[in-house]
């Protein structure tokens, strides 16, 4: 399929059914970065799901169903702790690689169980509070998702540089 870039809110994309991917930490901390947009659009359900399933390891995904058959929040456990002076880049690229692989398996199973293709939406995952760079994240998104699904990466406003 393909990877596209758009201006808008990744927490509320126009496509349905949709899987909204984002990165979470392994500590159970929620409420900063993109999780604010998820809470604003979908309420506390995704946070409860994340807190219920989270543990100290990473490299997997967990899914919160926010609109059955139409919208899912996919929590990618790819962040070791939170960003602070002693941990300037909590994004773990090995965990992200494994979590995206896990998300792709889940997405294929979801498509196989339904009748419609599944769109994937996300902000530039791992490139905000997780401290990563899109140049290192995008190849993983391409490898695991963009060749198989319609993936849209959303920016809240136009980026000064090319995607």
Encode pLDDT of 113-125 as tens digits: 886 789 999 999 9
The torsion defined by the Cα of 107, 110, 112 and 117, in degrees rounded to 10, comes to: -70
In-domain check, residue 57? yes
Domain extent at residue 28: 2-155
Instruction: Retrieve residue 140's tokens.
Output: 């993983």
The pLDDT assigned to 113 comes to 87
Could you give the number of structural domains in the chain? 1
Q: Whole-model pTM?
A: 0.93
List all residues 6 or more positions away from 93 whose beta carbon is below 8 Å from its beta carbon.
Answer: 78, 132, 136, 137, 140
In-domain check, residue 103? yes
- The CATH number of residue 121's host domain is 3.40.220.10
In-domain check, residue 110? yes
DSSP-derived letter for residue 156 is: S
**pLDDT: which is higher, 89 or 162:** 89
* C-alpha 161, offset from chain centre: 22
Task: Kindly indicate the confidence band of residue 158, based on its pLDDT and cuts at 50, 70 and 90.
Answer: low
Round to whole Å and give the CA distance between 86 and 121: 31
In-domain check, residue 163? no
Query: What pairs with residue 72 in β-bridges?
Result: 19, 65
The pLDDT assigned to 83 comes to 93
In-domain check, residue 162? no
Instruction: Retrieve residue 133's tokens.
Output: 């760079």
Encode pLDDT of 15-71 as tens digits: 999 999 999 999 999 999 999 999 999 999 999 989 887 777 889 999 999 999 999
């Amino acid at each position: 399929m393909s990877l596209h870039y758009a201006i808008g809110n990744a927490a509320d994309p126009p496509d349905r059914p949709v899987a909204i991917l984002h990165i979470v930490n392994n500590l159970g901390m929620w409420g900063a970065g993109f999780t604010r947009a998820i809470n604003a659009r979908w309420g506390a359900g995704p946070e409860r799901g994340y807190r219920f399933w989270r543990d100290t390891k990473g490299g997997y995904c967990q899914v919160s169903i926010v609109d059955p058959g139409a919208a899912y929040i996919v929590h990618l456990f790819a962040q070791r702790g939170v960003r602070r002076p002693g941990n300037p880049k909590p994004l773990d690229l090995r965990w992200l690689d494994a979590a995206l692989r896990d998300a792709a398996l889940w997405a294929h199973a979801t498509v196989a169980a339904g009748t419609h293709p599944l769109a994937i939406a996300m902000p530039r995952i791992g490139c905000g509070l997780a401290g990563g760079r899109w140049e290192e994240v995008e190849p993983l998104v391409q490898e695991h998702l963009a060749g198989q699904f319609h993936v849209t990466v959303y920016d809240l406003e136009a980026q000064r540089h090319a995607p």
